[in-house]
Structure formats: C-alpha cells, structure tokens
Structure 1
Amino acid sequence: MIPLSSRTIYNLEKRGEFPRRIALTSRNVAWDLSEVEQWIEERKSSGIQAARPGNTIEA
C-alpha cells in the first residue's frame, strides 16, 4: 500500500511522521488502516512534493 522501504517507514515513525506500528508478534507488525489512509490524504492535500533524485534544476 505504501511504496516505501521498511527502513524509510521506520525512520518516518521515529520522527513522528508516520502512524505507529502495532506489534502482532515478535516478528510481524501492522498499521491501523484508517491511520495510514489519513496519512496518505494529508500528504495529498498538503501540496508538498517530495524531491526526486536526479531531477534538480540548476540556474
């Protein structure tokens, strides 16, 4: 659902920028679907575009 690496999601969580994970077992985690959907909607409505590697414009 979220095309980000596990490490990126972990880093976002640590900074409080992604919903917290729920430990299902010692090796499996999940996220609350409504929280993830809300996170997606907030990203869509913010108008902030992530920088894409290699797409820099120099003056």
Structure 2
Amino acid sequence: MKQQAETVVKRTIRRHQLREMVPLADTTIYDMEQRGEFPQRFYLTSRCVVWDLSEIEAWLEGRRRASRAKAVKRAPIPDVQLRKTRPIKHRAQA
C-alpha cells in the first residue's frame, strides 16, 4: 500500500478571533502568558500578533478536563464582614 504524506496546516488566529474563543480580558491573557499558563503569542510582523489555533484548542480542552476533574481552584466566596462600606440602597421615588 502506498502511504500518502499528510500535510499539516498550521493555522493562526488574531486577537479578535481569540476573544471569541476565550472570553478573558486582554490583561488576563497577557498575565497568564507571562506565567506560562496560556499559549504564547508570536509576531508575524511588527504590528501583527497571532496565536497558534491548535495550541489554543489544546489549552481549552485541558481547562475543560481540569474543570471536570475539579482540579481548577475556584475563587473564594467574598466575606461581606470585611467590607469597609455598605452598598447604597436606592429608594424608589413615587
């Protein structure tokens, strides 16, 4: 049998496409990249930043698995006793 060579096409996405896939703020993504918790961006030109689509999809799948396994640390519930001010209640005007 003759084996056909598979062509691997690397696809990149730009920032607006990344935002559609990953609903995190730009600063959160940047901070996670700096800590090594998110796939690194790279520059195609001095003004064009992209991410590797397969790396983003793998990261999302890893986060999905970690969430299902309860391995993602969740934010603590805020302690309202530590508030310095109370929320203002607006009264309905007649």
TMscore range, shorter length: 0.7 to 0.9
Q: Which has the higher contact order (CA 8 A, sep 6+)?
A: 2
Q: Structure 1: where are the runs of 5+ without partners?
A: none
Q: Structure 2: where are the runs of 5+ without partners?
A: 1-20, 80-94
Q: How many aligned positions are there?
A: 55
The reply to whether residue 7 of structure 1 matches residue 27 of structure 2 is yes
Output the TM-score relative to the length of structure 2.
Answer: 0.51
Task: Measure, in 1, the Cα distance between the counterparts of 2:74 and 2:48.
Answer: 29
Per residue, is there more strand in 1 or in 2?
A: 2
Identical positions, percent: 51
The aligned residue for residue 56 of structure 1 is 77
Task: Measure, in 2, the Cα distance between the counterparts of 1:57 and 1:7.
Answer: 23
The reply to whether residue 21 of structure 1 matches residue 56 of structure 2 is no
- C-alpha RMSD of matched pairs (Å): 1.9
- Residues 5-58 of structure 1, C-alpha deviations (whole Å, 9 max, x = no match): 21111100000000111102222211100000000000000122643xxx8266
- Max Rg structure: 2
Q: Give every structure 1 segment of 4 or more consecutive aligned residues whose post-TM-superposition deviation is greater than 2 Å.
A: none
